[in-house]
Structure 1
Amino acid sequence: MANYEDRFISVISYIEANLDSQLDIDKLCSKAHLSKFHFHRQCSIFFGMSVMSLVKLLRLKRAAHQLAYRDNDKIINIALDNGYESHEAFSRVFKKYFAKSPSDFKQSPDWSTWHKQYEPIRKLRTKIMNTKDKFQTQVVEFPETLIAAMEHRGSPNLLGKTIQAFISWRKENKLPPSKCKTFNLVYDDPSVTAAEKYRFDVCCSVDSAIGANRYGVVNKTIPAGKCAVVRHIGSDDAIGSVVAYLYSQWLTDSAFELRDFPIFFERVSFYPEVAEHEMITDVYLPIQ
């Protein structure tokens, strides 16, 4: 990778690690080794947007996750934590990007409008991830694991509603992430699957089978067997690059074949409980 690209990767890494701070343009310029005369223009070319638009989108995403998944957080506190001076200022900007007020979004998260606004950051993170030649991959024996699963069927943009419902079910059944591992079964590639046919399970490990429930959570099992695993640190925006690497380059170079079970994720640490760039997800590809 050219040193020139490293400069801008350093800038976005610094921004992600300091979203809680008042970001100083002089500091960002020093990270990029560029003067103010060139910094904004060059960042806009590399990022696909202005540097302040990048900061705004990252903070809005964090605010939306806090609204959706933190029941006890007050909207005014979320607004202040993300750099807004008032509830009104936050609501005005949030509604522009999500087509819902913060309070309406908190009650019924809908990410469909947001995804169009956020696409430049997803592309940017994928671009950065694809600069890696390969990912550290291990072959492990995964143990048979009983899981409780909520099946999401439909647009990936509506996955947040399924996650929110599953969190409620876990809370009712006292199965927190600290006690039970969190998994996702990933059946389809969202880039090539029609939205209405997309399948994705939100799951957690359980000690025994669960009974019928109003949430529609069902019993499933992750079978024992060999898996290739890559630890992905960072946003889900770029996790597709890890999946593509395992299916293509790693599998082609290995002596293994695929088992009859979908690729799956173990969520080791969560956003927004940790900063987005600190998320840890283990990506498992079942092989034989």
Structure 2
Amino acid sequence: MNGDTAWAIYETRLRRVSAYIHDHLDEELDMGRLAEIACMSSYHWHRIYRAIHGETAAMTVKRLRLHRAAGEIVRGDLAIGDIAKRSGYPNLQSFNRIFKTAYGMPPARYRKEGSHSLFNAVPLEKATDMFDIAVKTVSPMTLTGVPHRGSYMLISKAFETLFGTLHARGLAGPDMRMIGVYFDDPDIVPADNLRSIACVTGVVMPMEGEPLQRQPIAGGEYAVLRHKGPYADMHRAYRWLYAEWLPASGRQIGDGAMFEEYLNSPRDTPPTELLTDIYLPLA
């Protein structure tokens, strides 16, 4: 077996592991069971997973559960205790402690005072001083991505598949930019039917190569809002763009899809320090 064949086998097996993790976050995820899904010994598969994904499987599970919990805290009225239990924590105290370490404040306070609250009823003249927004000209791009169907909060599943595939095929590079393209309005389209694609720039690949596919980005002018904070907070930034900035700007929306560029990685960046540029196409 040559090196390329071996990595192709690892890619398929670890893709199964990544899909299983995302689809079973509500369950107790036994590391031995994940090794069985990968069809490798526990001794080896942990090392291969970390080499490809840049973190252990246990770290992935913890990060994804907290990410989902943050979204549920911001967007719903589910009790914090129920969210803690759903996230796999034995009691509310331990969940509060872990959440505060990651997000900078306890979950109950985060529900009221997280960075999403900055966008509540902020007058445009004040918001332009508070928020980093500019109109930029973007050149046409052709991205490489993995499609996702479902809640935008769960697009991380497609990104895990994307990066695992690129690393296994030797296509990953240090200068790749991480971009998510979003095609539907989550306030109108049911969560299960939302369409998006997790992408990177700078990959040279043939057109055939599942699960990878090409995604063009139209060139032109975009309003670009830089958001600092957890991904769960960004829906308020979108609403501010549409309800406050766009009418006051005198501009009209273009035909292209909105996209987000992630300027740092949730694998090694605290949620409160995540930087995301939100691109709104303009006519």
Both proteins in one fold, TM over 0.5: yes
Cα distance in structure 2, aligned partners of 1:233 and 1:248: 20
**Cα distance change, pair 72–182 in 1 and its aligned pair in 2 (3 A):** closer
Q: What code does the residue aligned with 2:244 have?
A: Q
Check the 8 A contact 1:210/1:218 in 2, yes or no: no
Q: Which of 236, 250, 275 is the matching residue for 1:280?
A: 275
**Cα distance change, pair 191–172 in 1 and its aligned pair in 2 (3 A):** same
- Aligned partner of 1:57 in structure 2 is none
Cα distance in structure 2, aligned partners of 1:189 and 1:156: 10
Deviations 1:70-111 (A, max 9, x none): 5653749x98xxxxxxxxxxxxxx99433699xxxxxxxxxx
- Aligned partner of 1:223 in structure 2 is 218
Check the 8 A contact 2:145/2:197 in 1, yes or no: yes
Alpha-carbon deviation of 1:181?
A: 0.9
- Aligned partner of 2:87 in structure 1 is 98
Mapping 1:103-118, distance limit 5 Å: none
- Aligned partner of 1:203 in structure 2 is 199
- Aligned partner of 1:261 in structure 2 is 256
SS state at 2:137 partner: strand
Cα distance in structure 1, aligned partners of 2:111 and 2:174: 29
Q: What code does the residue aligned with 1:136 have?
A: D
**Cα distance change, pair 189–159 in 1 and its aligned pair in 2 (3 A):** same
Deviations 1:181-204 (A, max 9, x none): 111112223343212211111111
Q: TM-score, normalised by structure 1?
A: 0.56
Cα distance in structure 1, aligned partners of 2:244 and 2:229: 21
Matched, 1:127 2:122: no
**Cα distance change, pair 200–119 in 1 and its aligned pair in 2 (3 A):** farther
Q: What code does the residue aligned with 1:268 have?
A: L
**Cα distance change, pair 139–190 in 1 and its aligned pair in 2 (3 A):** same
SS state at 1:189 partner: coil
- Aligned partner of 2:236 in structure 1 is 241
Deviations 1:220-242 (A, max 9, x none): 21111001111111111211122
**Cα distance change, pair 100–201 in 1 and its aligned pair in 2 (3 A):** farther
Q: Which of 145, 149, 165 is the matching residue for 1:149?
A: 145
SS state at 2:135 partner: strand
Cα distance in structure 2, aligned partners of 1:140 and 1:131: 25
SS state at 2:176 partner: coil
**Cα distance change, pair 157–275 in 1 and its aligned pair in 2 (3 A):** closer
Alpha-carbon deviation of 1:279?
A: 0.8
Matched, 1:182 2:165: no
**Cα distance change, pair 213–123 in 1 and its aligned pair in 2 (3 A):** farther
Cα distance in structure 1, aligned partners of 2:244 and 2:121: 14
User: How many residues align structurally?
Assistant: 191
Cα distance in structure 2, aligned partners of 1:203 and 1:284: 14
**Cα distance change, pair 248–96 in 1 and its aligned pair in 2 (3 A):** closer
Matched, 1:139 2:128: no
Check the 8 A contact 2:226/2:276 in 1, yes or no: yes
Check the 8 A contact 2:146/2:197 in 1, yes or no: yes
**Which consecutive residues of structure 2, in runs of 5 or more, have no partner in the other structure?**
1-48, 63-82, 91-106
Cα distance in structure 2, aligned partners of 1:203 and 1:123: 32
Q: What code does the residue aligned with 1:273 have?
A: D
Deviations 1:149-184 (A, max 9, x none): 211112446433222211212212444473211111
**Cα distance change, pair 182–160 in 1 and its aligned pair in 2 (3 A):** closer
SS state at 1:190 partner: coil
SS state at 2:184 partner: coil
Alpha-carbon deviation of 1:210?
A: 3.4
Q: TM-score, normalised by structure 2?
A: 0.57
**Cα distance change, pair 75–246 in 1 and its aligned pair in 2 (3 A):** closer
